[in-house]
Amino acid sequence: MRPLRSCLVALALLCAAAPAHASTAGYRSVTAHGVRATLSWQGGAGPLVEHPRLTITRQGARMVDHRSLGAICDLCGSAVAPRRALHVRDLDADGEPEVIVDLFSGGAHCCSTTIIFVLRADHYRARLASWGNSGYRIEDLNGDGRKELTTDDDRFAEEFTAYAMSWRPPRVFQLVGQKLVDATRSFPALATKDIADIDAFLPKARKGGDPRGLIAARMADLALLGRQAEIDPYLAAARRRGDLKGMGPWPAGETFEVALKKFLRKTGYLPS
Percent of the chain with pLDDT over 90: 80
Q: Which of 104, 136, 168 is the last residue of a domain?
A: 136
Query: pLDDT for 129-169, tens place per residue?
Result: 999 999 999 999 999 999 999 999 999 999 999 999 999 99
Residues 9, 132: Cα–Cα separation, whole Å: 10
> 14 with 131, same domain?
yes
Query: pLDDT for 99-122, tens place per residue?
Result: 999 999 887 767 899 999 999 888
> 28 with 111, same domain?
yes
- 8 Å CB contact between 175 and 188: no
Q: What is the pLDDT of residue 20?
A: 55
- 8 Å CB contact between 9 and 135: yes
Is 159 contained in some domain? no
pTM, two decimal places: 0.89
Span 247-261, mean pLDDT?
Answer: 96
Q: What is the pLDDT of residue 244?
A: 97
Give me the domain span that covers residue 29. Answer: 7-136
> 99 with 211, same domain?
no
DSSP notation for 190-249: HHHHHHHHHHHHHHHHHHHS-THHHHHHHHHHHHHTT-GGGHHHHHHHHHHHTTT---TT
According to DSSP, the residues that pair with 53 across neighbouring strands are: 40, 68
> 35 with 118, same domain?
yes
> 18 with 125, same domain?
yes
> 27 with 131, same domain?
yes
Q: Which of 136, 154, 180 is the last residue of a domain?
A: 136
- What is Dmax (Cα atoms) for the chain? 67
Q: What is the count of structural domains for the chain?
A: 2
Q: What is the CATH number of the domain that holds 33?
A: 2.40.128.460
Q: What is the pLDDT of residue 5?
A: 37
Is 195 contained in some domain? yes
Query: pLDDT for 13-71, tens place per residue?
Result: 444 444 556 789 999 999 999 999 999 999 987 789 999 999 999 999 999 999 999 99
